[in-house]
Chains A and B, each alone.
Chain A
Amino acid sequence: MPKTTTRRKFFSTLALITATPVALAKHIIAEEPQPLSVMDTEMLEKLTHIDSDFIAVDGWVLPIKSMTLGES
């Protein structure tokens, strides 16, 4: 190690160099929102048909009529 550089300075600089990309990575430019007509396959997987009257959305058990007619 060069005499002008202390061990502390070396490791501090190394930490700063490796941390900066991570810190900058948090400022991600948001993606363009998808059109509503494009269904996310992940959303479809969260729908479970229970019977003729009920469906589950991500585990929430809901009456089908409220999905189509809205909650009264």
Chain B
Amino acid sequence: MLFDFNVDTSISKHYDVCIVGTGPAGITLSRKLAKSGQSVVLLEAGGLEYSEASQEFYECESIGHNAWPKFTRLRYFGGTSNHWSGRCRPFESSDFEAQTINGLPGWPISYTEIEPYLKEAMEIVDLDSDQGFQPLHAPLLGKSFNSDAFAKSPPTRFREKYLSEIEHQKNIDCFYNATAIDLNLDKSHQFATKIRLSNVHNHHSTVSASKFILCLGGIETPRFLLNCNTQIKDGIGNSNDMVGRCFMEHLNVPMGSFLYKDTEQYSNLQFFAADEFRSNNGIGKSNITMGIVKRIRSYGRTKAIKNFFKNIACQSNIEDKVQFISNFKCPGMGSIGTLIEQSPNLNSRVTLSKAKDNFGQKKARLDWQISPYDETTIRRTAIALAKEFNEAGLGTIRVADFILDETIDIQYGHHSHHMGTTRMSNSDKKGVVDRNCKVHGVDNLYIAGSSVFATGGACNPTMPIIQLCLRLAKHIA
């Protein structure tokens, strides 16, 4: 059933599971656990529709590289699935190989522990599980890059697809406009007992459950844990100062441009760095898109004016000289885009700002940084791509100046993939959750979503998020 917590604030029932957040992780878990017979209370801070007032709560101080945290997330039922692109690719076995990067271990679980859930995860986002993930084109380059293999969800909007099911599922009570503001622990601090909620009128209620699962995303999950400081001053699950650390994004690097030798034969190409290439170079994964620009794109309220001046620059052949104002490609040019794995990095992190929201909760402060490991990944990948593209007779790549000159700062953007801030590790000194996504030190508190990622891979996170949730649901049920 659905309840508007701005209107109905009475919650007296004790539930088997309390799930906080209605993005793909929260919805997947609630459906799965309810079907297994568990009584579920599902909490959503936003409403059933988008609202500016709700979105304002995602205001976030950003002191490192800008990851646009307010605009890349959505605070209403369905979460960020309400604007994702639908691109899906699962993790590979190499993502789970034992490794230490920047002093941090990789995943403590094996690929075989999430692979069984791939088929069901594909069906959840309306992919053809029989077809799987097929290479998009023939192998065109040398041994350093394979053809990429991803599939496109329609994209599935979890709100549109699953809201009605959740409303009518008899053992799910979903409260929207219900913001979680604190988690009560018992006297030992090892067992969560109740979660405290607030609505916009600042009316509070508590919900008791046997188990709690936080599905708030890579920024809001650590923010919530750090704000739960009434009983433990550094926040819950944070005895070793790991909550919020290792914020990872996927790196969108303007690596350069290219010319095809034969413009009639090829259109868009997608490549994925081969495992042998990466291990030989000691670098992370990368996913490269090469395509011909069809038209100028600009964003924002002044996009018409931006497009006007960009078109003038292209027609006057001076686009090179105005890149310091705006980085763009002219129609007909070959553009290279990337989705590059960022390594876990303790200095890239979410902490709390001094500013508070209307619920009295400190806002998040994001300090997004990349490490020398990531810079090496970017440069070596770009050079290898340029060489093999030429050797394959496909054409020529012009790499950006920062690829060849290490004195120039690397330019990079984001992909709206927030990962790693409550990372999985066998050790509570290197992570926040254990191999079963349980918070170290709290027996009945779990976290689901991309915040538990130990590494980010080079794929959109939705598929592994859902696979891990299905695995967690089986563990809890």
Verify B383–A61 contact, CB threshold 8 A: yes
Which of B386, B398, B405 has a CB less than 8 Å from the CB of A58? B398
- Distance of A29 Cα from B182 Cα, bound (Å): 75
A62 located at the interface, meaning its Cβ lies under 8 Å from any Cβ of chain B in the complex: yes
CB distance from A53 to the nearest CB of B (A): 7
CB distance from B407 to the nearest CB of A (A): 13
Kindly supply a per-residue 1/0 record for chain B positions 20-64, scoring 1 wherever the CB is within 8 Å of any chain A CB and 0 otherwise.
000000000000000000000000000000000000000000000
Once A50-B383, A53-B387 are accepted as A-B contacts, the answer to whether A61 and B396 lie under 8 Å apart by CB is yes
Verify B387–A61 contact, CB threshold 8 A: yes
Kindly supply a per-residue 1/0 record for chain B positions 384-412, scoring 1 wherever the CB is within 8 Å of any chain A CB and 0 otherwise.
00110011000011111101110000000
A:46-72 near B, CB below 8 Å: 48, 50, 53-54, 56, 58-63
Which of B396, B400, B404, B405 has a CB less than 8 Å from the CB of A62? B396
Verify B396–A60 contact, CB threshold 8 A: yes
What would 9 more interface pairs be, CB under 8 Å, given A50-B387, A59-B399?
A48-B405, A50-B404, A53-B387, A54-B386, A59-B404, A61-B386, A61-B387, A61-B390, A61-B396
Chain A hits for B397, CB < 8 A: 60-61
Verify A56–B387 contact, CB threshold 8 A: no
CB distance from A31 to the nearest CB of B (A): 21
- Distance of A61 Cα from B256 Cα, bound (Å): 11
Query: Can you list 14 A-B pairs, Cβ within 8 angstroms, ordered by A?
Result: A48-B405, A50-B383, A50-B387, A53-B387, A54-B386, A56-B386, A59-B399, A60-B396, A60-B397, A60-B398, A61-B386, A61-B396, A63-B390, A63-B391
Once A61-B383, A61-B396, A61-B399 are accepted as A-B contacts, the answer to whether A48 and B390 lie under 8 Å apart by CB is no
Verify B396–A59 contact, CB threshold 8 A: no
B:173-225 near A, CB below 8 Å: none
Verify B398–A48 contact, CB threshold 8 A: no
CB distance from B310 to the nearest CB of A (A): 20
Which residues of A are in contact with B by a Cβ distance under 8 Å?
48, 50, 53-54, 56, 58-63
CB distance from A7 to the nearest CB of B (A): 33
- Distance of A61 Cα from B398 Cα, bound (Å): 6
Chain B hits for A50, CB < 8 A: 383, 387, 404
Chain B hits for A58, CB < 8 A: 398
Verify B399–A56 contact, CB threshold 8 A: yes
CB distance from A3 to the nearest CB of B (A): 45
Q: Lowest 5 CB-CB distances: which A-B pairs, in order?
A: A61-B386, A59-B398, A60-B398, A48-B404, A59-B399
- Distance of A43 Cα from B391 Cα, bound (Å): 25
Verify B398–A54 contact, CB threshold 8 A: no
- Distance of A56 Cα from B399 Cα, bound (Å): 9
- Distance of A50 Cα from B383 Cα, bound (Å): 8
Verify B256–A59 contact, CB threshold 8 A: yes
Verify A59–B383 contact, CB threshold 8 A: no
Closest to B399 in A: A59
Closest to A48 in B: B404
- Distance of A59 Cα from B320 Cα, bound (Å): 12
Chain B hits for A48, CB < 8 A: 404-405
Chain B hits for A53, CB < 8 A: 387
Chain A hits for B383, CB < 8 A: 50, 61
Chain B hits for A61, CB < 8 A: 383, 386-387, 390, 396-399
Verify B404–A56 contact, CB threshold 8 A: yes
Chain B hits for A56, CB < 8 A: 386, 399, 404
Most B C-beta atoms less than 10 A away, residue of A48, A59, A61: A61
CB distance from A42 to the nearest CB of B (A): 14
- Distance of A63 Cα from B397 Cα, bound (Å): 11
CB distance from A67 to the nearest CB of B (A): 12
- Distance of A50 Cα from B380 Cα, bound (Å): 11
- Distance of A62 Cα from B396 Cα, bound (Å): 7
- Distance of A59 Cα from B390 Cα, bound (Å): 13
- Distance of A53 Cα from B142 Cα, bound (Å): 15
CB distance from A13 to the nearest CB of B (A): 32
- Distance of A50 Cα from B396 Cα, bound (Å): 15
Chain A hits for B398, CB < 8 A: 58-61
Closest to B386 in A: A61
Closest to A59 in B: B398
Chain A hits for B390, CB < 8 A: 54, 61-63
Chain A hits for B396, CB < 8 A: 60-62
